[in-house]
Amino acid sequence: MYKESRANWIEKSRAKRVEESRAGRTTKNRTGWFAKGKAAWLAAALLLMVAVVAGCSGGEGNNAQSTASDWSEGSAKREETSESSRSEATFDRAVEPYPGGGQQQQDQAAGQLTAGEWADTERWGEFLVRLNERDGAHGMQTWGITPLRRLAAVVTAAGEPVADAALVLRAGDEGETVWEGRTDNQGRAYVFAGIFEQQRGSNADAYTIEVRIGQDTVKRYANVALPAQEPLQIELDEAAVYPDRADIMLVVDTTGSMSDELDYLGAELTDVVQRAQERTGQELELRLSANFYRDEGDEYVVRSYPFTSKVSETVKQIREQRAEGGGDYPEAVDEALKDALHAHEWSEEARARLLFLVLDAPPHDDERTKQRIRELTSDAAALGVRIIPVASSGVDRETEYLMRFFAAATGGSYVFLTDHSGIGNSHLQPQVDQYEVRPLNDLLVELIVRYTERPQQG
């Protein structure tokens, strides 16, 4: 009876906040009753992957799910890390017990939250259909993002995928840069024209595609039309070095509604780190960064930490956080992304740069903020940072489409919590077709492996 009453209160409070926010009224501080354990499981799975990813990478990618050939469906100086320091980083056992004392509650065990995933990049035709429907069209209008004119490419050399090559779209012949993306570990990249109203060169009759390795342009295609129905297959004349580093960043909303999540992080991460220490390989160098944000007027807007290869540092940083503030529905998502992309030293060369954005509310919807959001989306694509949103309870339809725009434009994927776990407040059913319901931690580990494994050489 108590749980049912509490759930009803949660649902009514959330609906009231959304209604008041849209009407321009200020609401009371959010209380933090919602969706117990969401971000905790996410962060746990991210650090668990320190073991899984490196282990899979060390096996020459024997578990690869796809290759470039079957995909047609669809800024810092690099640190030199000695073998001894890397060993110290990944096998650091100076991890203190979670400072809660006593036994953990049963509902804190990892693997209870459920989630789904939807990769619009691989189901592009279906996504275009959604965008032509009422909610999709409203999402494009709300955020000023129109990802209708896309070209996908697959870059290979000697038949093998080329990772972290720049794919540059220029207006006309040698015109201004319209969009820039980077290839993922499978050699895939995406560029867009006309995705924003004020995008430079978006009205050109034809485009030029350039492929760059470092500062060198190694391939060029002229008179390219957008949108393109099939991926552009690009074969380089010389093989490129396959990167052996991956950057993984966690950006978490720490306003009042996320209080339960942060309470669970310490216990979750301690367990995950202990398991990761036993299974971490040595071939793929992983760096982690934990970052937290609230809203204007709170104790802080963004609290960020630099990349580190020591898992114990990230655990400590997460333990120190508390959830407070966030008096209205929207939060400072734009400030968090700006800090994440431009105040951190991402690897100049990387097999993957992943940004997991854990949130239960959208950015503010004034035009200045929306313009920043659009610019930051373009910046992320150019840096090769793939945004993987994790939509928690409280996300509405407009926010769903913004998160899917983030993922589609940067080559990421959309993750969403579901009600199948019976934990926390109700979650928005996304506008997607059939999907598999999985434990959140398993799903995120699989995602990170998918983006960092080296495809099997054939």
Q: Are residues 309 and 334 in the same domain?
A: yes
The region of weakest confidence among 19-28, 177-186, 292-301, 378-387 is 19-28
Q: 109 and 197 in one domain?
A: no
The rounded distance, in Å, linking the Cα atoms of 413 and 402 is 12
Residues 385, 325 within the same domain: yes
Within a domain: 129: no
Kindly indicate the confidence band of residue 269, based on its pLDDT and cuts at 50, 70 and 90: very low
Query: What pLDDT is attached to residue 73?
Result: 41
Residue 138 in any domain: the answer is: no
Assign 310 a pLDDT band (cuts: 50, 70, 90). confident
Which residues, listed in sequence order, are joined to residue 247 by a DSSP beta bridge? 287, 353
Residue 78 confidence (pLDDT): 32
Shared domain check, 250 and 231:
no
Are both 319 and 425 inside the same structural domain? yes
How far is Cα 83 from Cα 231, in angstroms, rounded to an integer?
A: 40
Residue 307 CB coordination number (10 Å) = 19
Asked whether residue 88 is domain-assigned, the answer is: no
Q: Does residue 85 lie within any of the structural domains?
A: no
Q: Do you find a cis peptide bond into 227, omega within 30 degrees of 0?
A: yes
pLDDT recorded at residue 440 = 82
Average pLDDT over every residue of 424-440: 91
Report yes or no on 46 lying in a domain: yes
Strand partners, 207: 171, 224
Q: What pLDDT shows up at residue 98?
A: 32
pLDDT at residue 428 is higher than 50: yes
Does some domain include residue 458?
no
Domain boundary among 236, 267, 289: 236
pLDDT in tens, 391-406: 988 899 999 999 999 9
Structural domain containing residue 109: 29-60+101-119+243-452
The three-state (H, E, C) secondary structure of the chain, written as one string: CHHHHHHHHHHHHHHHHHHHHHCCCCCCCCCCCCCCCHHHHHHHHHHHHHHHHHHHHHCCCCCCCCCHHHCCCCCECCCCCCHHHHHHHHCCCCCCCCCCCCCCCHHHCCCCCEEEEECHHHCHHHHHHHHCCHHHHHHHHHHCCCCCEEEEEEEEECCEECCCCEEEEEECCCCCEEEEEECCCCCEEEEEECCCCCCCCCCCCCEEEEEEECCEEEEEEEEECCCCCCCEEEEECCCCCCCCEEEEEEEEECCHHHHHHHHHHHHHHHHHHHHHHHHCCCCCEEEEEEEEECCCCCCCCEEECCCECCHHHHHHHHHCCCCCCCCCCCECHHHHHHHHHHCCCCECCCCEEEEEEEECCCECCCHHHHHHHHHHHHHHHHHCEEEEEEECCCCCHHHHHHHHHHHHHHCCCEEEECHHHCCCCCCCCCCCCCCCCEEHHHHHHHHHHHHHCCCCCC
The 10s digit of each residue's pLDDT in 215-235 is: 999 999 999 999 999 999 999
13 found inside a domain:
no
For residue 158, what is the domain's CATH number?
2.60.40.10
Q: Which of 166, 173, 218, 223 is CA-nearest to residue 191? A: 166
Res 373 pLDDT > 60 = yes
Residue at 415 is within a domain: yes
> Is the separation of the CB atoms in 90 and 309 below 8 Å?
yes
What's the distance, CA 379 to chain centroid? 14
Task: Tell me the sheet residues that pair with 363.
Answer: 331
* Statement to judge: residues 189 and 286 lie in one domain: no
Are 332 and 277 part of one and the same domain? yes
Q: Does 210 share its domain with 338?
A: no
Residues 283 and 376 in one domain: yes
- Taken in order 235, 166, 292, 255, the sign of the CA dihedral is negative
Residue identified by tokens 């396959």 is 242
Domain count, the chain: 2
Judgement on whether residues 293 and 183 belong to the same structural domain of the protein: no
Q: What's the CATH code of the domain at 415? A: 3.40.50.410
Q: Are residues 339 and 424 in the same domain?
A: yes
Residues 379 and 277 in one domain: yes
